Chains A and B, each alone.
Chain A
Amino acid sequence: MTAIALDSHEHDHPSGIRRWLTTTNHKDIGTLYLCFSFAMFLFAGALAMLVRTELFEPGLQFFQPNLFNQLTTMHGLIMIFGAIMPAFVGFANWQIPLMIGAPDMAFPRLNNWSFWLLPMAALLLLGSFLVPGGAVAGGWTMYPPLYIQGGIGYDMTIFAIHIMGLSSIIGSINIITTILNLRAPGMIMMKIPMFVWTWLITAYLLVAVMPVLASAVTMLLTDRHFGTHFFNAAGGGDPVMFQHIFWFFGHPEVYIMILPAFGILSTIIPTFSRKPLFGYHSMVYATASIAILSFVVWAHHMFTVGMPAAGQLFFMYTTMLIAVPTGVKVFNWIATMWQGAISFETPMLFSVAVICLFTIGGFSGLVLAVVPVDIQLQDTYYVVAHFHYVLFSGAAMSIMAGVYYWLPKWTGHMYNETLGQWHFWLTAIAFNITFFPMHFTGLAGMPRRVPDYALQFAEFNMISSIGAFVLGASQLLFLYIVVKCIRGGMPAGEKPWDGADTLEWTLPSPVPYHTFETAPVIR
């Protein structure tokens, strides 16, 4: 009796370009997402540099208004859909299976698909700069009538948004089924790490709101080409309806970009405080509360379009209500640090900065929630300052914190701590130099999305531009640190952070290609 000889390569995996094209391994796909998002981050950042160059002093220096608006619009669209969201999906791919003790995502082939849709969408989006009429210039919010009237670049953007939405939906379905079905034995829901919890809730938000975005852009498309009049007032449509539909997606979208950041903070802060997370249960409930409330606040973006006083009051109070669960989270992070044996390695520095700066962004959000104030500040630089404090210092800096935290586990090497701290201080200081003065320019009435401005805003704009150039340059240092760490460095042990207690730190560094083929048992 002899055994059958088989040509099988279960433990092999292709190398070179085929590995990355055909991979179904969650770590490879996570890496692809992170690389893609970093490339998009640099590109959209370069657009921001161009914007700040134009705004360095009053008057039109370099760009005509239409091109300037293309730059601001594409900066927003690429940062949101190309950089921040894919970066968090990258973290989800890398970390969720490792943190719940699963061998991979529930649908690995779908996972490959959901990534490879993104470069196609990016090609469409970036390619729109090259077509007649240029890229979209109507703002990332895609309001009609501008988006009904534009050239082919608008169609390309609509298709790109569709494809990115499809990618997000596939990704979120995969994440939901993975977290619910592939948890290691003994890992009940109230034992899963906070990062996993925040992603589960984020995935629910994505599933709920992505069809709304998809239908909004589809209606724009049919209004443009198929004679419908959903948003065309001349044909009996209602442009304000688009705003309601868009912001019903758009406000939960803000939380889609911030909840995973909260998850990263909730992982890093206990590690470097060498204490368990304070109030795990309240963190879970606060996250869920934020997600639920995010569905009933959308019209605070639209106070100036006109609505009944009762509607204004409702959306004002619900918006203010979100501060409560968010405050619970901030309190818990501070309570976690309280009397902890804190050390300030780069991930912790970023995390503490996120708490401080995100709180500033949260407070300016509360200011904007007040209807009469919002009516004054609508479409001013105060709003620009507010959402950059939320999205750059909240989401992007959390991503940086997460990269520094998990890079040793992913690569097997320690990053250069000195350079990491340089990156942190440059980023934190330059960020504040860039965006804090915008509160003042906004309060003084400078409108957003204009390439020229009155002389009274000159000094603050110059300061913002100088800060922006330093902020942009310091991200090149980040790229250098990451590439250097991937190529070599001090070997990272199994657990380079002594306070880390999630499952991934039980694995060797770098993490083997296949992990948790045998489920760990959680007690």
Chain B
Amino acid sequence: MVDISGTTSPVHYSVTVRPNCSLSPAGTLRVFSVIALISLSFSLVFVFIGAWPVLFFAGAELLTLGYCFYHVLLHAGDYEQLIIDDDKVVVQIHELGRDRCVKLSGYWTRLVLDCMPGGYCRWLVLRSSGCEVEFGRHMTSDERLKLARQLRPILGGFMT
């Protein structure tokens, strides 16, 4: 599930793909803080009356919940961007806070869409001079197909 935004100006073609994440990092922090505050408050009362194992279990559970939120948050800022200009194709991948940029020749880049017999399009790859980069890992089959159809007149390419 992705949010896709694209433009044809000022460059020839640009598309950005982001995984859908409906809760912002600040929202996540607020939600987790409220849960942690409530849970720890209860636990401390139980510690006070002598039932200290409650704190242990509550702590373990909050760590698990926190890790789950953290895991989701880590990927919340991920995106892939494809920019096609006159003579170059730039694929920018932002994952886990790190950027990776691959520049390909605009004249030699070809698009490869790998589809299974049932019609499921599993890969969309850009290739040029022995260099290959996958685009649209967050996209669904239909979205890859749609994007490939849009790019084909610009880049040329084929389906397998």
Contact = CB atoms under 8 A, between A and B. Distances in A.
Contact of B20 (A4, A184, A238): A184
Interface string A472-484: 0000000000000
Given A185-B20, A211-B61, A177 B54 contact: no
Given A177-B68, A177-B69, A207-B35, A218 B61 contact: no
Interface in A1-57: 1-6, 8, 10-11
Interface string B59-73: 011001100110010
Nearest to A520: B1
Interface in A177-203: 177, 180-185, 187
A208 interface: yes
A518 B68 contact: no
13 contacts: A106-B68, A106-B72, A208-B35, A208-B42, A211-B57, A215-B51, A219-B51, A241-B51, A516-B1, A517-B142, A518-B142, A519-B3, A519-B20
Interface residues of A, number: 48
B34 to A, nearest CB: 9
Contacts of B112: 1, 3
Interface string B21-64: 11100011001000100110011001001110110111011001
Contact of B64 (A6, A173, A182, A516): A173
A196 to B, nearest CB: 12
B25 to A, nearest CB: 11
Interface of A: 1-6, 8, 10-11, 102-103, 106-107, 169-170, 173-174, 176-177, 180-185, 187, 204, 207-208, 210-212, 214-216, 218-219, 230, 238, 241, 244-245, 248, 295, 516-519
B65 A173 contact: yes
A103 B13 CA distance: 29
B137 interface: no
A211 B39 contact: yes
Interface stretch (B80-88, B92-100, B115-123, B147-155): B115-123
A518 B142 CA distance: 8
A417 B49 CA distance: 55
Q: Which 4 A-B pairs have the closest CB atoms?
A: A211-B57, A3-B160, A517-B140, A215-B53
B78 interface: no
B127 to A, nearest CB: 7
Contacts of A1: 110, 112, 127
B49 A244 contact: yes
Interface of B: 1-3, 20-23, 27-28, 31, 35, 38-39, 42-43, 46, 49-51, 53-54, 56-58, 60-61, 64-65, 68-69, 72, 76, 110, 112, 114, 116, 118, 120, 122-123, 125, 127, 140-143, 158, 160
Contacts of A3: 112, 114, 125, 158, 160
A245 B54 contact: yes
A208 B123 CA distance: 43
B49 A241 contact: yes
Contact of B68 (A10, A107, A204): A107
Contacts of B141: 11, 517
Contacts of B53: 215, 218-219
A208 B122 contact: no
A241 B140 CA distance: 54
A8 B116 contact: yes
Nearest to B34: A204
B89 to A, nearest CB: 16
Contacts of A210: 57, 61
Contacts of B28: 180
A187 B23 CA distance: 11
Nearest to A106: B72
Nearest to A2: B160
A401 B54 CA distance: 37
Nearest to A210: B61
B21 A211 contact: no
B158 to A, nearest CB: 8
A8 B49 contact: no
A169 B22 contact: no
A64 to B, nearest CB: 35
A245 B51 CA distance: 8
Nearest to B114: A3
Contact of B120 (A10, A106, A170, A174): A10
Given A181-B23, A241-B51, A4 B114 contact: yes
Given A176-B31, A177-B72, 14 more contacts: A2-B160, A3-B125, A3-B160, A8-B116, A10-B120, A173-B68, A182-B20, A183-B22, A207-B39, A210-B57, A215-B57, A216-B51, A245-B51, A518-B143
